[in-house]
Structure 1
Amino acid sequence: MPRLALHDWLTNFIPHPGAPEWRERVRRAGGALLGIAFTGIATHLLFGSAGDIPMLVAPMGASAVLLFGASESPLAQPWSIVGGNLVSALVGVACAQWISTPVLSAAVAVALAISAMFLCRCVHPPSGAVALTAVLGGPAVHALGYRFVAVPIVFQSFALLSAALVFHALTGHRYPRAAWRSAAQASASGAPVRPAQQLNAGDDPQRLSSDAFDALTCEEFMSSADHAVPFTMGRHAAWETLRRHGVHALPVVDGAHRLVGTVTHHELANGRRAGFARRLWRGLWRKTVQVEETVEAVMASGVQAVHRATPLAHLASIFADHACYEIPVFDDARRLIGVVKHSDMIRWLHQHAGAAYRDAARPLADAR
């Protein structure tokens, strides 16, 4: 038994198999190259004559990994890099001036920087290195004092972010990512999770007749989400998956099966039905900068999703307002566990509302 437990623990160190296609890898690496080059050149042209301003600080390399290599991450969004680097630089400079012992100053700076980033909701891992640089950067950095916050940190953060925004836009990649939007939060509803009683395809909704509509939760009514696709899947493969399942949209998940978006037939078809001139331009462009072909590039911004304990009645307004065919359902860890289809809801309402109307109309018929 301990041997099996050790084996299971060691398997956690195996690299995740999910990786973008080679074209996407080239695109991301090229973006980092251009972003760092632009940031360094801009700093040199504007502040090179000062002599005491570093042309590039090391944390910008780590920020480039996130902005270009993992731009879908919440840690790579605009406020994360600008806000995280700003507060961490302020904390680092303050600790460097107030605490004389370098090791203690560095430890306190990183701890306070993390706390400040959580408080400001701008967690950005490279910002920890910003705090360390302010403490351990040497006499040149210490001589800058609080100027270190504005130049180079804030300036280079904005320069790198600007390069990322332009690069992603020119290569057809959606950035920044919209904040997670959910139709109902479990913490807000406070609804207890009832025993799962899924309504899968082919099941008869009549078996739920004993429950009132308002008492049903999404977990009791949802269907399986076996048509979910990873965000690294190619557009063509996603199109085939959509056609094979006969659905209008595909939930998109990350490596931990957390919901990150949805992609519909409209987004997937846009790349297949372009005119001759558009196809020619894409062909020429693809030879130069390798336009990505992944689901991540075309999936819808944001996602309408609900927690598994959300009352089913709350979904009626979402279906009406957003004209969607199904709503993803996630668990406490935001992992995708199923979908609620509008067709199932309509069938249930038709059967039970129809029965109620028949019962109400029976006395009228008897009165005749």
Structure 2
Amino acid sequence: MMLKKFLPYLVSESTPLSMGEKLRATFAAFAATLAVGLASSQFLQGSGLHIMVTSMGASAVLLFAAPHSPLTQPWPLVGGHLISAFIGIACAKLVPDLWVATALAVSLSILAMHFTHSLHPPGGAIALMAVLGSRHGLASDFSFVIAPVGLNALLMLLMALALNNLLGRRYPARAFPARDKKHQHDDPKPLDRIGIDKNDLQQALRDMDVYLDVSEADLNQVYRRAGMHAYRRRMGEITCGDIMSRDITSVEFGTELEEAWAQLRFHKIGAIPVLDPARRVIGIISLVDFLKRANLKTYETFEDKLIKFIRRTPGLSSEKPEVVGQIMATPAITVQEDMHILELVPLLSDHGLHHIPIVNAERRLVGMVTQSDLIAALYAGGTKQG
């Protein structure tokens, strides 16, 4: 009974991870540690700790089990090791008492890593190892900072960059974008203009005044995803198949530009999906695609330039695009018809899309959803809640 009462203080709740993610972390740590050991042995003489420092094991846990953590980014990994190793050697040389030297090395390493934004927990281990190793000829001078410490850290970083990205992780983790690169302005993305923004998160972290092992970008993403799950729970299951337009027009790769333009004008729509013979989406063509390629820099009128671009060039050769496949946007972003409509919100807001083709389980086109369709569905769902 007493153990059950104190168990929440002793064992923290773990992050819900899939078995696949746990196995990926395990495989990556094995491959990286093996590669760093083998590679270091080609450059360094000796064996054991002369080749590979023990802090690499702790770094491997962080790099592959928590790749988005601020503690595992490239500068904390390399800078934390180098700074701590240097401090450890300095303390070993300047402080005669072993245990005072170890305490100073670890504590000063923490302070230095804080000030240099390179906090990396294995840095404390390498500072301790530098002091203890100096008594046994392992870290007798500052060359220990370069090899094996610097070499090990650099090789581990290279493995982290390769393996994490190869396994579908985002490494290094990206910070909040400072500018909307798509539209070239400094306003936040549409989803970031309401609710919690970057300044709110920074102020909350200052108020807590404790180091949290999560980046602002990931914290913002967790908040946004939680909000979407809550909204989905309240409004019920409404899928893309429920709101999509089913009677849609399409073109093929070889459809002439004049015919595609006529369909856009006739149906008064902004985009048409481009299909292969099996009705799978291979691209999408929009009014913007025509305007971007109509050579608007010449002195002819806008109408003349557009007509000249759209009309078929007589003869067997042409210096301008003639068919849809030459100007379409590809690959086209598509979503499954059983996807919840809330998943469309980031695509139709932050990504700047206006039309999204909807496909079935066989990846064949079954419909189209526009921004208007989504707005109407969200309004209807909100009205139903009220």
Q: Specify the alignment match of 1:329 in structure 2.
A: none
Q: What displacement does 1:13 show?
A: 2.7
Q: What letter corresponds to residue 77 of structure 2 in structure 1?
A: I
Matches within 5 A, 1:320-359: none
Q: Specify the alignment match of 1:82 in structure 2.
A: 78
Matches within 5 A, 1:216-365: 226-228=227-229, 243=340, 245=342, 247-249=344-346
Matches within 5 A, 1:49-128: 54-128=50-124
Cα distance in 1 for residues equivalent to 2:27 and 2:146: 27
Q: What letter corresponds to residue 227 of structure 2 in structure 1?
A: D
C-alpha contact (below 8 Å) 2:44/2:148 kept by paired residues: no
Cα distance in 2 for residues equivalent to 1:273 and 1:74: 39
Structure 2, unaligned runs of 5 or more: 179-187, 189-197, 205-222, 231-335, 364-370, 372-377, 380-386
Q: Specify the alignment match of 1:257 in structure 2.
A: none
Cα distance change on mapping 1:226 and 1:101 into 2, 3 Å: same
Q: How many percent of aligned residue pairs carry the same amino acid? A: 31
Cα distance in 2 for residues equivalent to 1:273 and 1:165: 35
Q: What displacement does 1:275 show?
A: 9.8
Higher relative contact order (CA 8 A, sep 6+): 1
> SS of the counterpart of 1:20?
coil
Cα distance in 2 for residues equivalent to 1:241 and 1:122: 45
Q: What letter corresponds to residue 243 of structure 1 in structure 2?
A: H
Q: Does 1:185 pair with 2:199?
A: yes
Q: What displacement does 1:24 show?
A: 1.4
Cα distance change on mapping 1:55 and 1:228 into 2, 3 Å: farther
Cα distance in 2 for residues equivalent to 1:63 and 1:245: 38
Which of residues 35, 38, 43 in structure 2 aligns to 1:38? 35
C-alpha contact (below 8 Å) 1:39/1:160 kept by paired residues: yes
Structure 1, unaligned runs of 5 or more: 191-221, 230-238, 251-261, 277-322, 324-342, 345-368
Q: What displacement does 1:180 show?
A: 4.2
Cα distance in 1 for residues equivalent to 2:48 and 2:72: 29
Q: TM-score, normalised by structure 1?
A: 0.51
Cα distance in 1 for residues equivalent to 2:227 and 2:69: 24
> SS of the counterpart of 1:60?
helix
Q: What displacement does 1:29 show?
A: 0.7
Query: Cα deviation per residue 1:202-249 (whole Å; 9 max; x = unaligned)?
Result: xxxxxxxxxxxxxxxxxxxx99953259xxxxxxxxx99961646513
Query: Cα deviation per residue 1:283-325 (whole Å; 9 max; x = unaligned)?
Result: xxxxxxxxxxxxxxxxxxxxxxxxxxxxxxxxxxxxxxxx9xx
Query: Cα deviation per residue 1:68-105 (whole Å; 9 max; x = unaligned)?
Result: 11111110100110011111011000000000111000
C-alpha contact (below 8 Å) 1:106/1:135 kept by paired residues: yes
Q: What letter corresponds to residue 26 of structure 1 in structure 2?
A: L
Cα distance in 2 for residues equivalent to 1:54 and 1:47: 8
Q: TM-score, normalised by structure 2?
A: 0.48
Q: What letter corresponds to residue 89 of structure 2 in structure 1?
A: V
C-alpha contact (below 8 Å) 1:242/1:265 kept by paired residues: no
C-alpha contact (below 8 Å) 1:75/1:125 kept by paired residues: yes
Cα distance change on mapping 1:273 and 1:32 into 2, 3 Å: farther
C-alpha contact (below 8 Å) 1:52/1:140 kept by paired residues: no
Cα distance change on mapping 1:240 and 1:148 into 2, 3 Å: farther
Q: What letter corresponds to residue 75 of structure 2 in structure 1?
A: W
Q: What letter corresponds to residue 11 of structure 1 in structure 2?
A: P
Cα distance change on mapping 1:139 and 1:65 into 2, 3 Å: same
